[in-house]
């Protein structure tokens, strides 16, 4: 199927013209024009209320953006995805992570390729395993119950489990603690193992391919650490794996009974719903993990059925695309005001940037527009005392998502009201800013006059007009988290369909992996490296000699 460049769509041309008309308009004026703006630009589904009124849009903007989604055949691509077509065409794979959280009884996708028997079988095995561990029936080599769950993985086999386990810390079994090891240098591994007792530690080796250097290096070292204290025979009680590559897990020495399978139609960054979620399920329990899946399924149904102007993922994707392609915004910041979601921006970095960081269409044509925003962020409250200054008075347009609970998972005094007032104040300040007159007035009221007053004014002006979208929910539950994650997954998919790209491959990460294989032996060689550019040669030789001299 030939992919049409987004710039060739009629709605894109109309959006260009519309952008010229709206680009200089301040959101203050948009709010004055329409006192009911919140009413017109908020929508709610799956326990999430999305206020997108503080964006640089009018009704016409949403009409044109949703036309663009329709012209790009978003509905058709969605049905192709959930129908099991091989829409990841560069890897010739189906994209069926939605099947992992499909809750109704029956087949998915309907028809020949029903994947549900396999999915349900693995979910049943995960349930039995997590119940054994949580109940204390799963005993380590000295007969003690497990206390530490150590997930070894990287990318999608790490970020999802880290993010979801932290987000649902309030649901964690009281005897269990979760640890996550991903980094290649030995610091994370060493510092984690230092505090652990092998007799009560269970390692989950999570890797779709089971060939990833970081994961295998850490897994081998963890195994050595364990065997040196507990002996080889104890491995079966302390090492399990989540993988699609059963031949590699056996070669590593993990018994087939301890391998939780998933399939090549689950992308790495979409895998927390699969056996890769084993650490999450073990820590929070299978009932809660199934609630997480149900929340994902809620959002899938909403995404497939809601009209686009009420469709949370579609709107979120279109708004980001509006700023990326028409305003030229390069980055998008995600600001949870729920500390439980502190790792959500890191998780989204992979989801969004590995999916939509592409420069050619599905069929290999060069794009003449920008794709994937640079995603960054962190807990909003901390950000206020760090990077918000640049959002308020810097020179860059930075659209943001504020993620705000009505209540956090723990109620103490007035923490929630303090958190909420800050979150809402920031969206107001980013939208309104402070005009020259307002700045001057405030300074006069503080007693400043004359030259000092004039000198101070420019520093007190905040231009405002920074777009914010606010997602509000009552309290973070497993189900709500499932919906929130799926919201962003479908946001990314929506954008990829409009951009005409394959959101499910990641060829860009391969080159560096291959080059690292060449460099590794050169670091311990006795002769200088000469085959690279002078910078890389120079770095290899400088480090090799420095290590030889110091070590
Ligand atoms: O290098 C990128 C990547 O392939 C990701 O897409 C993936 O999530 C990660 O590496 C880990 O891969 P695996 O689960 O196969 O170890």
CATH of the domain at 126: 3.40.50.10490
Q: Please tell me if the CB atom of residue 155 comes closer than 6 angstroms to any atom of ligand 1.
A: yes
Say how many Å lie between the CA of residue 504 and the centre of ligand 1: 12
β-partners of residue 402 are 335, 470
Is residue 218 in contact with ligand 1, taking CB distance under 6 Å?
A: no
Range of the domain at 210: 116-291
Q: Are 54 and 470 in contact (CB under 8 A)?
A: yes
Q: What integer pLDDT is reported at residue 293 of this predicted model?
A: 98
In a domain, residue 107? The reply is no
Nearest CA to ligand 1 atom 1: 509
Residue 51 is inside which H or E element, if any? strand 48-51
* Centroid of chain to Cα 439: 39
- How far does the centroid of ligand 1 lie from the alpha carbon of residue 128, in Å? 27
Looking at the fold, whether 396 and 449 belong to one and the same domain comes out as no
pLDDT given at position 427: 98
CA 318 / ligand 1 centre spacing (Å):
28
| Ligand 1 pocket check for 276: Cβ under 6 Å | no
Between the alpha carbon of residue 507 and those of residues 53, 104, 153, 413, 514, the distances in Å are 37, 35, 19, 50, 12
81 domain residue, yes or no: no
Same domain? For 404 and 513 the reply is no
Cα-to-centroid distance, 207 and ligand 1 (Å): 7
What is the residue-wise DSSP string for 435-468?
Answer: -HHHHHHHHHHTT--HHHHHHHHHHH-B-----E
Same-domain status, 474 and 544: no
Whether residues 277 and 354 fall in one domain: no
- Please say whether the beta carbons of 523 and 544 come within 8 A: yes
Phi and psi torsions of 500, nearest 5° = 70, 30
Which class for 392: exposed (0-12), middle (13-18), buried (19 or more C-beta within 10 A)?
Answer: middle
Sequence-distant (6+) residues with CB within 8 A of 342 are 166, 336, 378, 379
Domain endpoint, select from 260, 291, 322:
291
Question: What residue's CA is closest to ligand 1, atom 6?
Answer: 268
8-state DSSP, 526? S
- Residue 400 CB–ligand 1 contact under 6 Å: no
Q: Is the peptide bond before 109 cis (omega within 30 degrees of 0)?
A: yes
User: What pLDDT does 112 receive?
Assistant: 67
Residue that is last in its domain, among 291, 317, 350? 291
CB of 268 shorter than 6 A to ligand 1 = yes
Does the Cβ of 156 fall within 6 Å of ligand 1? yes
* Residues 523 and 536 sit within 8 Å (Cβ to Cβ): no
Q: How far is the CA of 440 from the centre of ligand 1 (A)?
A: 54
Atom of ligand 1 nearest to the CA of 153: 16
Ligand 1 and 154: CB distance under 6 A: yes
Q: Is the CB of 208 under 6 A from ligand 1?
A: yes
Contact 145, 237 (CB under 8 A): no
Catalytic residue positions, numbered: 354, 385, 513
Decide: 313 and 494 in contact? Cβ < 8 Å: yes
Instruction: Please indicate whether residue 506, judged by its CB atom, sits closer than 6 Å to ligand 1.
Output: yes
| Sequential DSSP letters for 266-299 | S-GGG-TTTGGGHHHHHHH-HHHHHHHHHHHHHH
> Domain for residue 100, yes or no?
no
Q: Mark which of 291, 318, 333 sits at the end of a domain.
A: 291
Q: Ligand 1 in contact with 56 (CB < 6 A)?
A: no
Residue 102 lies in a domain: no
CA 27 to chain centroid, in Å, comes to: 29
Q: Identify whether 280 is part of a domain.
A: yes
How far apart CA 265 and CA 343 sit, in angstroms, is 25
The predicted pLDDT at position 111 comes to 65
pLDDT at 1: 76
Sign of the dihedral through C-alpha 446, 452, 455, 459: negative
Any atom of ligand 1 within 6 Å of the Cβ of 249:
no
Residue 396 lies in a domain: yes
Taking the centre of ligand 1 as the mean of its atom positions, its distance from the CA of residue 212, in whole angstroms, is 7
User: CB of 241 closer than 6 A to ligand 1?
Assistant: no
Q: CA-CA distances (angstroms) from residue 479 to 168, 288, 292?
A: 10, 8, 4
pLDDT of residue 378: 97
The answer as to whether 382 is a domain residue is yes
Structure tokens at 364: 């290999």
User: How many angstroms does the Cα of residue 16 sit away from the middle of ligand 1?
Assistant: 37
Handedness of CA 172, 173, 176, 182 (dihedral sign): negative
Question: What CATH number should be reported for the domain holding residue 524?
Answer: 1.10.1390.10
Return per-residue pLDDT of the chain as tens, 551 residues.
799 999 999 999 999 999 999 999 999 999 999 999 999 999 999 999 999 999 999 999 999 999 999 999 999 999 999 999 999 999 999 999 999 999 999 899 876 679 999 999 999 999 999 999 999 999 999 999 999 999 999 999 999 999 999 999 999 999 999 999 999 999 999 999 998 999 999 999 999 999 999 999 999 999 999 999 999 999 999 999 999 999 999 888 898 999 999 999 999 999 999 999 999 999 999 999 999 999 999 999 999 999 999 999 999 999 999 999 999 999 999 999 999 999 999 999 999 999 999 999 999 999 999 999 999 999 999 999 999 999 999 999 999 999 999 999 998 999 999 999 999 999 999 999 999 999 999 999 999 999 999 999 999 999 999 999 999 999 999 999 999 999 999 999 999 999 999 999 999 999 999 999 999 999 999 999 999 999 999 999 999 999 999 97
Helix (H, G, I), strand (E, B) or coil at 260: strand
Give, using CA atoms, the residue closest to atom 9 of ligand 1.
155
Atom 4, ligand 1: which residue's CA is nearest? 268
Q: How far apart are CA 380 and CA 387, in angstroms?
A: 10
- Shared domain check, 533 and 512: yes
Which atom of ligand 1 is least distant from the CA of 243? Answer: 14
State residue 467 phi and psi, 5-degree precision.
Answer: -70, 140
Tell whether 402 and 354 lie within a shared domain. yes
Is residue 481 located within the same domain as residue 440? Answer: no
Those residues whose C-beta lies under 8 Å from the C-beta of residue 287, and which sit 6 or more positions away, are none
Residues 328 and 427 in one domain: yes
Regarding whether 459 and 482 lie in a shared domain, the answer is no
Contact (CB, 8 A) for 259 and 450: no
CA of 86 to the centre of ligand 1 (A): 20
CB 496 within 8 A of CB 80: no
Q: Is the same domain home to 381 and 460?
A: no
307: buried, middle or exposed (CB in 10 Å: 19+, 13-18, 0-12)?
Answer: exposed
Nearest atom in ligand 1 to the alpha carbon of residue 268 is 8
The atom of ligand 1 lying closest to the CA of 156 is: 8
How many domains, in total, are found in the chain?
4
C-alpha 180 – ligand 1 centre gap (Å) = 15
Q: Pick from 88, 90, 154, 183 the residue to mutate for probing ligand 1's pocket: most ligand atoms within 8 Å of its CB.
A: 154
Residue 98 within any structural domain of the chain = no
- My answer on whether 345 and 310 are in the same domain is yes
Mutate to test the pocket of ligand 1, among 152, 153, 155, 510 (most ligand atoms within 8 A of CB): 155
- Same domain? For 360 and 286 the reply is no
* H-assigned helices in 149-199: 159-167, 187-194
């Amino acid at each position: 199927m030939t992919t049409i460049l987004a710039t060739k769509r009629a709605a894109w041309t109309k959006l260009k013209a519309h952008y010229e008309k709206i680009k200089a308009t301040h959101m203050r004026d948009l709010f004055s024009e329409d006192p009911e703006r919140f009413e017109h630009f908020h929508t709610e589904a799956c326990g999430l209320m999305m206020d997108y009124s503080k964006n640089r849009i009018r009704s016409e903007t949403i009409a044109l953006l949703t036309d663009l989604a329709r012209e790009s055949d978003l509905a058709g691509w969605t049905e192709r995805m959930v129908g099991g077509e091989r829409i990841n065409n560069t890897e010739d794979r189906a994209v069926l992570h939605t099947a992992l959280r499909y809750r109704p009884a029956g087949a998915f996708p309907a028809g020949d390729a029903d994947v549900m028997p396999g999915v349900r079988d693995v979910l049943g095995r995960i349930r039995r395993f997590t119940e054994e561990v949580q109940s204390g029936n799963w005993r380590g080599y000295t007969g003690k119950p497990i206390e530490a769950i150590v997930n070894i993985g990287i990318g999608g086999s790490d970020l999802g489990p880290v993010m979801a386990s932290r987000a649902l810390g309030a649901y964690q079994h009281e005897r269990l603690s979760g640890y996550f090891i991903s980094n290649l240098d030995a610091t994370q591994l060493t510092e984690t193992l230092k505090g652990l007792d092998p007799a009560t530690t269970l390692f989950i080796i999570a890797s779709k391919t089971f060939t990833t250097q970081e994961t295998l290096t850490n897994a081998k070292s963890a195994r050595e650490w364990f065997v040196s204290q507990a002996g080889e025979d104890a491995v079966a009680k302390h090492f399990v794996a989540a993988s699609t590559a059963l031949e590699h897990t056996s070669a590593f020495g993990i018994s087939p009974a301890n391998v939780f399978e998933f399939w090549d139609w689950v992308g790495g960054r979409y895998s927390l719903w699969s056996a890769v979620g084993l650490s999450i399920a073990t820590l929070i329990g299978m009932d809660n993990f199934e609630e997480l899946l149900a929340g994902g399924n809620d959002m899938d149904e909403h995404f497939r059925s809601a009209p686009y102007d009420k469709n949370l993922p579609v709107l979120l994707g279109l708004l980001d695309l509006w700023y990326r392609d028409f305003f030229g915004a390069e980055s998008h910041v995600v600001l949870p005001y729920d500390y439980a979601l502190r790792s959500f921006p890191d998780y989204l970095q992979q989801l969004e940037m590995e999916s939509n960081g592409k420069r050619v269409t599905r069929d290999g044509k060069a794009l003449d527009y920008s794709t994937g925003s640079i995603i960054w962020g962190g807990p909003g409250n901390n950000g206020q005392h760090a990077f918000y200054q640049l959002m308020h008075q810097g020179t860059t347009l930075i659209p943001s998502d504020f993620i705000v609970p009505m209540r956090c998972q723990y109620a103490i005094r007035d923490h929630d009201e303090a958190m909420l007032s800050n979150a809402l104040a920031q969206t107001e300040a980013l939208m309104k800013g402070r005009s020259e007159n307002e700045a001057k007035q405030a300074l006069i009221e503080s007693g400043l006059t004359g030259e000092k007053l004039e000198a101070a004014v420019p520093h007190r002006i905040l231009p405002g007009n920074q777009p914010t979208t606010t997602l509000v929910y009552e309290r973070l539950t497993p189900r709500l988290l499932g919906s929130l994650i799926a919201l962003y997954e479908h946001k990314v998919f929506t954008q990829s369909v409009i951009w005409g790209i394959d959101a499910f491959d990641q060829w860009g990460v391969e080159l560096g992996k291959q080059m690292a294989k060449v460099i590794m032996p050169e670091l311990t060689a006795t002769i200088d490296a000469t085959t690279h550019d002078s910078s890389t040669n120079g770095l290899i030789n400088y480090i090799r000699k420095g290590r030889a001299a110091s070590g």
